[in-house]
Homo-oligomer: A and B are copies of this chain.
Amino acid sequence: MSLDAATKPHEQLAEYLATDMEAVNRMIRARMASEHAPRIPEVTAHLVEAGGKRLRPMLTLAAARLCGYDGPYHVHLASTVEFIHTATLLHDDVVDESDQRRGRPTANLLWDNTSSVLVGDYLFARSFQLMVETGSLRVLDILANAAATIAEGEVLQLTAARNLETTEEIYLKVVRGKTAALFSAATEVGGVIAGADEAVVKALFDYGDALGISFQIVDDLLDYAGTEATGKDIGDDFREGKLTLPVIRAVAAADPSEREFWTRTFGKGRIAEGDLETALALFAKYDTLEATRRDAVLWADRAKAALDAVPEHDLRQMLADLADYVVARLR
């Protein structure tokens, strides 16, 4: 990998896939339009034009190109994946606002809950229309399953919140649901539309799955270890009672008085001045941030290992670099 180089892996991918990504952007703009309901593009533009990295659609394009695809439908599928992602973000806004009131300027504060829910539904329906156009039932199967897994993961996260019995196994299910399911579906459908061998399709799924898990572990870790550069507030998850790996591990190692601390703060949400600092001290005592970081590296390594089974291609190295880059955010 070349972290010292001027160009980051996702930027390299964006450059390599520039023509395809332009086609995706055109398709997204065309399909989010609604003749009768101008509110719809207003709300989606807020998210779609916000200029995220477009990581998920790039994964689909890269997987298809890597397998030698030269038809038109990787653009439909990349747009599909971005629509599903955007719909999820819109619905997450409602979820977060109603339960936690983070106070960020999410779409549902700029407009309202109603628009977030309905426009999310619209994009979700639109994404299925795009899939139907590919004519591939297998693609529909993969993405319908991913959509169900995403919703299940979000509900599971909800019921796991403030529950100190949450295990690493449950955490992994939540992470697969909220993040990895769409990553792995994104890469898998790229291989499927290209008509790749089953072993390659499986490898692309495994890559997306491991990359997504690594990505989410890092995201959760940055909630405690982030700096101003990452743009994240430290301790959001602590205040919201979201059990992530650093906490799950500290709870598992806790002595009785520490367990009392976790029960009060995470279990009951009664948080006082200085509690976040105490939590961070306990993470240090049991080295749980470093252990979590090692987990993220492990999953990134698994993502790279999966790529051994995919064809030789410039994009293969970029995908490997991307896996390294995901954990490099931690330095």
Contact = CB atoms under 8 A, between A and B. Distances in A.
B152 A37 contact: yes
A159 interface: yes
Contacts of A156: 36-37
Given A137-B137, A152-B40, A159-B39, A117 B91 contact: yes
A173 interface: yes
A95 B124 contact: no
Interface in A207-229: none
A92 to B, nearest CB: 9
Contacts of A158: 39, 114-115, 118
A112 B129 contact: no
Interface stretch (A8-16, A143-151, A300-308): A143-151
Contacts of A38: 159
Nearest to A94: B117
Interface in A61-114: 91, 94-95, 98-99, 112-114
Given A114-B94, A151-B121, A158-B39, A132 B128 contact: no
B122 A151 contact: yes
Interface in A10-60: 34, 36-40
A99 B121 contact: no
24 contacts: A36-B156, A36-B173, A39-B155, A94-B94, A95-B113, A95-B118, A98-B113, A117-B117, A118-B151, A118-B154, A118-B155, A118-B158, A119-B155, A121-B147, A122-B148, A122-B151, A122-B152, A125-B144, A125-B147, A128-B147, A129-B144, A129-B148, A135-B137, A140-B140
